Amino acid sequence: MNAAPAVAAAGTSIVRIRDLVKDYRRGAETVRVLDGLSLDIRQGDFVALMGPSGSGKSTLLNLIGGLDRPTSGTLEVEGLRVDELSAGSLGRWRADHVGFIFQMYNLLPVLTAERNVELPLLLTNLDREQRMRRVAAALKLVGLEHRARHRPRELSGGQEQRVGIARAIVTDPTLLLCDEPTGDLDRKSGDEILDLLQALNREYGKTIIMVTHDPHAAERAHRVIHLDKGMLSEGSG
Amino acid sequence: MIGKYLPLLASSLRRKRLRTFFTAASILIAFLLYGLAASMQFALKSGVDVAGADRLLTMHKVSFTQLLPASYESRIKAVDGVVAVSAQTWFGAWYRDERNQFPTFPSDPEAYLRIYPEIKLAEEQKQAWFADRAGALVGRAIADLYGWKVGDQVPLRSAIWRRLDGSDTWDVTVRAIYDLPEGGDTRQIVLHQDYFEEAKQQAKGLIGWYVIKIDDVNRAQAISRQIDLMFANSPAETKTSSERAMAQSFVNQIGNIGAILSAIVAAVFFTMLLVTANTMAQSVRERTNELAVLKTLGFSNGGVLGMVLAESVLVTTLGGLLGMLLAWWAGVQFAPTLDQYLPGFRVPPAAFAKSVLYMLALGVVAGAVPAWQAMRLRIVEALRRD
């Protein structure tokens, strides 16, 4: 196993990864996607993860978000060993600490925008009134309070992604994980989404890790980290 | 607590409205069938419940339709343990329309009331009926059905018996209207045996059967045997058994129909199980990505399992409740018509309670496999599949 030097950043680390390995089985073959990767991401950072297809960007994002488990190595988020959490604890941890933003928005088509945004809050003890207050605040923040009762098919791609962002921030998580958030949008809508992410980072102190293929999108990040064949190298954002 | 998930569940059902509608409609039909079968069995069984254990029935050994000599009555009365005897004959009465048939028996009024002490009627009406040979004792259900009152003259037609003048119309006067304790069938008319015997054209000196009241239920078998022995090797041999046993054997015969009906309902339920399971499996397959998103947001494996099961139970309960309501409505709506053949035809409360259990069980079993698959769904693979 290759142990690469940690790609570190100054300040308090919110994400601390050491010697992370992820293997997948493809039939009889074992494919190593991440190969002894080490990385620190500090609180309030905006990191762009770039790299060619199959380089392991999304895999790394999934591991940081607790959607998947590493084959070996350690992964700490806010001082908590995420790789050691049980499936049930991982779910609760994700609900409380991580907001996910997907390329294809992944909204439930049968629910209105506000019901989609409300979904993560169903897992909390908030009553309906409190939930709806938070939903309204999140929708207002993304500039979609007037589209609250619309279903996803009645919204543009950019608006759908805004609803996705509202859903990701409605529980006020510290970490936002974005998987190609502008990948399905035109340049103008993409820029609006990136503006929004920048604002969330700058004004609300959200730590953002964004997977992207687009150098234009990566320019908005403080740091750009390149992944190739499961190994890291850092560039400037 | 669960209420907050209802919009999510309801929206899942709205996703493919037509499919949800057809699935719920199929379940509705299954439970409608169940409700109707339960109503039928209830109607058949209620006759047995009200039949007296201390009453025996003596009829012709060959068939119910063969007549017995009226002279047997005095010999039966002489048997030790016999308290009262009432000779009765099937009159085959109908009113206005031949389809409006109801049980009518010529019998000795005083003996009849001794045999059936549960009959409730006003004393003055009873005396008036005793005094009028062309008087009739009418059950409340019949009186209500045709709007008859005490004193009304009613032209009853007989499908079997003709008068001496050749007519099949028997004019009788409603002299008394009787009630029975809860659940009793008051769809009967009792005429005077004397009037019938004098006026009928054929089968003089013959009656249909004897109803016998005995003093000790435990001696029912011995008395039955004694009566049958008394008429053994005669031109009209008898077969005696308790009224309850007779009712039970009648129900057992029809009970086969009940068993067939139950088998059909079971087959329908099984089919519904497959249909619902298929619908749920399809629904879960189509939503793999959405379920993965819910898990990403923090919904636990158990939560996702519960949600799919709840969705399945919601469909079966919705269809099932509507089906049972429809069965109940059918019972209320068609009771007057069916009362003639199946008095007490209605969905019994126990069947309602059972049906709710069946709905829940059907929902849980049908949703079990898809719910298990949803629970086991691996987020990363499911999102990648999208």
Residues B149 and B198 in one domain: yes
DSSP-derived letter for residue B178 is E
| B11 contacts on A by Cβ (under 8 Å) | 108, 110-111, 115
Q: Find all residues with CB under 8 Å of B142, minimum gap 6, and list them.
A: B102, B148, B186, B187, B188, B189
How far from the centroid of its chain's Cα atoms is residue A195's Cα? 16
Tokens of A183: 């990948």
Residues B236 and B360 in one domain: no
The ipTM, to two decimals, is 0.89
Q: What number of other Cβ atoms are within 10 A of residue B163's Cβ? A: 16
How far from the centroid of its chain's Cα atoms is residue A65's Cα? 7
- Chain-wide mean pLDDT for chain B? 87
Based on its alpha-carbon atoms, the radius of gyration of chain B, rounded to whole angstroms, reads 30
Q: What is the structure's pLDDT at B73? A: 93
Probe site for chain A from B293, B375, B377, B381 (most A CB atoms < 10 A): B293
Contact A208, A173 (CB under 8 A): no
A10: contact with B, CB 8 A cutoff: no
Final residue in a domain of this structure, among B221, B249, B277: B249
What is the residue whose two structure tokens read 């629970």?
B375
A1: contact with B, CB 8 A cutoff: no
Tokens of A35: 């190969």
- Give the Cα separation of B35 and B265 in Å (integer): 10
Residues B42 and B68 in one domain: no
Q: What is the structure's pLDDT at A11? A: 57
- The tens digit of pLDDT for each residue in B7-46 reads 888 888 888 889 889 999 999 999 998 898 888 877 776 6
Residues B177 and B209 in one domain: yes
- Give the Cα separation of A97 and A39 in Å (integer): 19
What is the residue whose two structure tokens read 């035809």?
B345
Tokens of A107: 């909204």
Residues B67 and B166 in one domain: yes
- The residue segments making up the domain with residue B202 are 50-249
Residues B89 and B221 in one domain: yes
Q: What is the DSSP string of A144-183?
A: -GGGTT--GGGS-HHHHHHHHHHHHHTT--SEEEEESTTT
Contact B337, B267 (CB under 8 A): no
Q: What is the structure's pLDDT at A1? A: 37
| B299 contacts on A by Cβ (under 8 Å) | 91, 123
How confident is residue A27, by pLDDT bands cut at 50, 70 and 90?
confident
Half-sphere exposure of A180 (CA within 13 A, CB side): 15
What is the residue whose two structure tokens read 């139950």?
B262
**Record: contact A115-B7, CB cut-off 8 A:** yes
Residues B269 and B356 in one domain: yes
Q: Which amino acid belongs to residue B54?
A: D
Contact B197, B208 (CB under 8 A): no
Q: What is the structure's pLDDT at B343? A: 66
A104: contact with B, CB 8 A cutoff: yes
The H or E element containing residue A50 is strand A46-50
Q: What number of other Cβ atoms are within 10 A of residue B49's Cβ? A: 12
Half-sphere exposure of A80 (CA within 13 A, CB side): 14
Residues B231 and B310 in one domain: no
Give me the residue from B11, B300, B380 closest to A110, CB to CB. B11
- The residue in chain B having the minimum alpha-carbon distance to the alpha carbon of residue A112 is B11
Going by C-alpha positions, the residue among A224, A178, A220 that lies closest to residue A7 is A224
Divide the 386 residues of chain B into consecutive groups of 10 and give the mean pLDDT of each group.
Answer: 79 86 91 88 65 81 87 93 92 85 90 90 93 93 91 91 90 93 82 92 91 87 92 91 70 65 83 88 88 93 92 93 93 73 78 93 93 91 73
Minimal CA separation from A224 to chain B, in Å: 24
| B289 contacts on A by Cβ (under 8 Å) | 106
- Number of structural domains in chain B: 2
Residues B156 and B243 in one domain: yes
- Give the Cα separation of A27 and B338 in Å (integer): 67
Q: Find all residues with CB under 8 Å of A107, minimum gap 6, and list them.
A: A113, A116, A152, A160, A163, A164, A167
Q: Find all residues with CB under 8 Å of A61, minimum gap 6, and list them.
A: A49, A177, A179, A209, A211
What is the residue whose two structure tokens read 């190739």?
A228
Tokens of A170: 């409605």
Q: What share of chain A is helix, strand, coil (3-state, %, to 5)?
A: 35, 30, 35
CA dist B317 → B29, B178, B274, B365, B372 (Å): 13, 42, 16, 13, 20
DSSP-derived letter for residue B306 is H
Q: What is the structure's pLDDT at A5? A: 45
Final residue in a domain of this structure, among B192, B220, B249: B249
Q: What number of other Cβ atoms are within 10 A of residue B290's Cβ? A: 20
Final residue in a domain of this structure, among B249, B282, B302: B249
Residues B234 and B264 in one domain: no
| A128 contacts on B by Cβ (under 8 Å) | 4
Give me the residue from A100, A104, A110 closest to B296, CB to CB. A100
Give me the residue from B7, B301, B379 closest to A67, CB to CB. B379
Minimal CA separation from B312 to chain A, in Å: 18
Q: What is the structure's pLDDT at B53? A: 67
In the A/B pair of chains, how many CB contacts fall below 8 A? Answer: 66
Tokens of A177: 């994980």
What is the residue whose two structure tokens read 């103008």?
A188
- The tens digit of pLDDT for each residue in A123-170 reads 999 999 999 999 999 999 999 999 999 999 999 999 999 999 999 999
Minimal CA separation from B383 to chain A, in Å: 9
> Considering only residues 51 to 90 of chain A, which have any Cβ-Cβ distance to chain B shorter than 8 Å?
62, 65, 67-68, 87-88
Tokens of B95: 């009113």
B2: contact with A, CB 8 A cutoff: no
Q: What is the structure's pLDDT at A50? A: 94
Q: What is the pTM of this model?
A: 0.68
CA dist A58 → A63, A67, B298 (Å): 9, 11, 19
Residues B123 and B191 in one domain: yes
Longest dimension (CA), chain A: 53
- Give the Cα separation of A4 and A19 in Å (integer): 7
A105: contact with B, CB 8 A cutoff: no
3-state secondary structure of B259: helix
| A110 contacts on B by Cβ (under 8 Å) | 11-12, 14-15
Residues B192 and B149 in one domain: yes
- Give the Cα separation of A97 and A196 in Å (integer): 19
CATH number for A45-68+96-236: choose from 2.30.130.10, 3.90.320.10, 3.40.50.300, 3.30.420.40: 3.40.50.300
How confident is residue A4, by pLDDT bands cut at 50, 70 and 90?
very low
**Record: contact B12-A110, CB cut-off 8 A:** yes
> Considering only residues 290 to 329 of chain B, which have any Cβ-Cβ distance to chain A shorter than 8 Å?
290, 293-303
- Give the Cα separation of B293 and B285 in Å (integer): 14
Minimal CA separation from A68 to chain B, in Å: 7
Tokens of B351: 């069947």
Mean pLDDT of A189-210: 94
3-state secondary structure of B56: strand
**pLDDT for residue A18 is more than 90:** yes
A140: contact with B, CB 8 A cutoff: no
- Give the Cα separation of B158 and B163 in Å (integer): 10
A112: contact with B, CB 8 A cutoff: no
**pLDDT for residue A180 is more than 80:** yes
> Considering only residues 175 to 214 of chain A, which have any Cβ-Cβ distance to chain B shorter than 8 Å?
none
